[in-house]
Amino acid sequence: MKTPLLQFTSRGIYCEEARVYLDPWKPVDKAIISHGHADHSRWGHKQYITHHRNVPIIKHRLGDVIITSKEWGETFSINGVKFSLHPAGHIIGSSQIRVEYKGEVWVFTGDYKLEDDGVATPYENIKCHTFITECTFGLPAFLWTPQKEVFNDINNWWAENKANGQTSILFGYSLGKAQRLLKHLDPSIGKIYTHGAVENMTEVLRSLVAFPKTELITRDTKKEAIKGNIVIAPPSTHGSTWIRKMTPFLTASASGWMAFRGARRRRAIDKGFVLSDHCDWSELLTAIKDTGAQKIICTHGYTEIFSKYLRGLGYDARTEETQYEGELAELNTSETSTLSV
């Protein structure tokens, strides 16, 4: 029986011909990395290969590791296997990984979305025979509103809170969501304050994208200075002592999970904005159709439901277990374990 070009192993997605892994979750000799989120870019590999926009992110998060950078569409060969990176549209520097060997083409998406958010390089469709896709939001209930409307709602919420003398606290994970929020906030309403994890990551990325001015909250920041303005913070700060000194405030979460009824209530959030860095149901189906692939592998999210639906459409679809978390990575608390600011 022919060995698949890419295999799902205990260490990660493995290309035996090239002896290289894609987004492995255990330490390996050589890893091609799709993007900088912690569930896809882990510490301990001997060599990292990624897009050049992802290099500063990996170094910020993992330290002085050995990295080789590539440009979009640049073909590089490893033991006769051709690889190239293509925009995934998920966050800054996020890539799909195209793998070609003896005329057979596979594409591993990592995480991706089709809507151009004005921050990440927009998604590029790649033709292939086998398409490895996430399905974080692989249910028909998930259908995103265009982001322009969402940001109008966010800015109106902030302006209303300011008029009422309340501080607006908006939660979004420090890499990706926070920068997307910053890019589209209206600074004419007031000042934008940030938690240290958000500020540090944004500073790493300012050379790549133009963001509005932000103010880091420190121990010396006065509550009176913050009042009526907006604060961008990781979700893990919700309910912390760090946040209590900002009263009176209202909280909001920007996440695809806000599409679920009750999600805002369960998280004790005052307001929910449906904004995801992943594909919704229709985008997943569009992306799959446009690749021309007949073999679809679903890696994380609603894998069983989504792959069953695809089989009903005539695709050769199956699931594979991975350690990728999708938008659940928003809840990762490691980046805010020390709230020293």
Better pLDDT: 205 or 241: 205
Residues contacting residue 211 through CB under 8 Å, at least 6 positions apart? 179, 182, 183, 202, 205
Cα separation, 169 vs 253, whole angstroms: 9
| Whole-number average pLDDT of the chain | 94
Output the pLDDT for position 1: 72
Better pLDDT: 202 or 236: 202
Stretch 21-38: mean pLDDT: 98
Cα separation, 238 vs 189, whole angstroms: 23
Instruction: Describe the crossing of helices 196-205 and 177-184 by its angle, rounded to 10 degrees.
Output: 80
Split at pLDDT 50, 70, 90, the class of 261 is confident
Is the Cβ–Cβ distance between 162 and 168 less than 8 Å? yes
What percent of the chain shows pLDDT beyond 70?
Answer: 95
Output the pLDDT for position 214: 98
Stretch 249-253: mean pLDDT: 96
Q: pLDDT at residue 330 above 60?
A: no
Output the pLDDT for position 187: 97
Output the pLDDT for position 266: 67
Lowest-confidence segment of 80-84, 122-126, 324-328 by average pLDDT: 324-328
DSSP β-ladder status, 76-78 and 67-70: unpaired
Split at pLDDT 50, 70, 90, the class of 338 is very low
Output the pLDDT for position 2: 82
